[in-house]
Amino acid sequence: MLNEVDEIERRAALAGAGDARLRPVDRAYEGIRRRILDGGLKAGEHLGEEQLTALTSTSRTPVREALRRLAGEGLVFVGRNGRSYVAEFDPFEADAVFEIRARLEGYAAELAAARIGAEGLAKLEEVCEEIEALGLRVSHKSLERFLRLNNIFHNIILHEAGSRQLASAVASAVAIPLPLLKHYVWDAPVDIGRSNAQHRELIEALRARNARWAGACMAAHINSTRPVEAAWRHAEAEISTGAARR
């Protein structure tokens, strides 16, 4: 499991450095995605092909393919003029993502409770140990690694649920990680320690094969990071004000 995370981080680092060992389309995709998620490319910003070819050390064709992939993930949108822009994380829509994931992943945890074996539980434990090794202080580097480990944890449970239909339904909702929405849309801190403690309780529910407990743990885990309505309405007002100024 650690090797999988290290490989993801290696690819991201190579992309950030414009490393030629990655395929051009992967270098373009990784480079643009990283700059969107770290705030280097701002919400609503026009993504010009010349700008992106220089940014990623690629050509127009890989950049166009990368933009198509990112549009599919919801990180990029294409305007009526055919130009690509960094998607704005509308707070109302972001809140809907929390709701969708709480319901679907809660159900996935219920299914996984009846199917998961010793190997699956061991994988989840290993991810928790890697998250604990990050410590409690959140830096840009530790947040990036936590996001990847957290995504692996949730994907293991989704895999153990054993439903391709459910996996397909969840796929579009998980393109933008929830902690990232919380961190960048609401500018709220990410509590790695609390999140991992919830992971631990979820593992215990799965080990006990208690479907109701597992589903409730997963839903509570996701909803515990969900900002209250007042917070996203404030963020929505900030976006509207910014749009009016432009």
**E runs forming strands in the chain:** 76-78, 84-86
**How many other C-beta atoms are found inside a 10 Å radius of the C-beta of residue 123?**
18
The CATH number covering residue 124 comes to 1.20.120.530
Among 36, 59, 86, the domain boundary falls at 86
* Alpha carbons 28 and 18: distance in angstroms, whole number: 9
Residues 39 and 98 in one domain: no
Residue 182 lies in a domain: yes
SS3 of 8, please? helix
Tell me the pLDDT of the chain (246 aa) as tens digits. Answer: 444 444 444 444 444 444 556 789 999 998 998 888 777 888 889 999 999 999 999 999 999 999 999 988 778 989 988 899 988 766 777 788 889 999 999 999 999 999 999 999 999 999 999 999 999 887 878 887 898 899 899 999 999 999 999 988 887 676 666 655 655 554 567 789 999 999 999 999 999 999 999 999 999 999 988 876 544 455 455 545 444 444
Is 201 inside any structural domain?
yes
Same domain for 133 and 209, yes or no, is: yes
Residue 171 lies in a domain: yes
- 3-state class of 107 per DSSP? helix
- Number of structural domains (the chain) is 2
Last residue of a domain, one of 70, 86, 102: 86
213 part of a folded domain: yes
Q: What gap in Å lies between CA 238 and CA 185, rounded to an integer?
A: 11
Q: Is residue 80 part of a domain?
A: yes
Q: Give the end of a domain, one of 86, 119, 149.
A: 86
Q: Which domain holds residue 72?
A: 2-86
Q: Any idea how long the chain is?
A: 246
CATH code for the domain in which residue 25 is found: 1.10.10.10
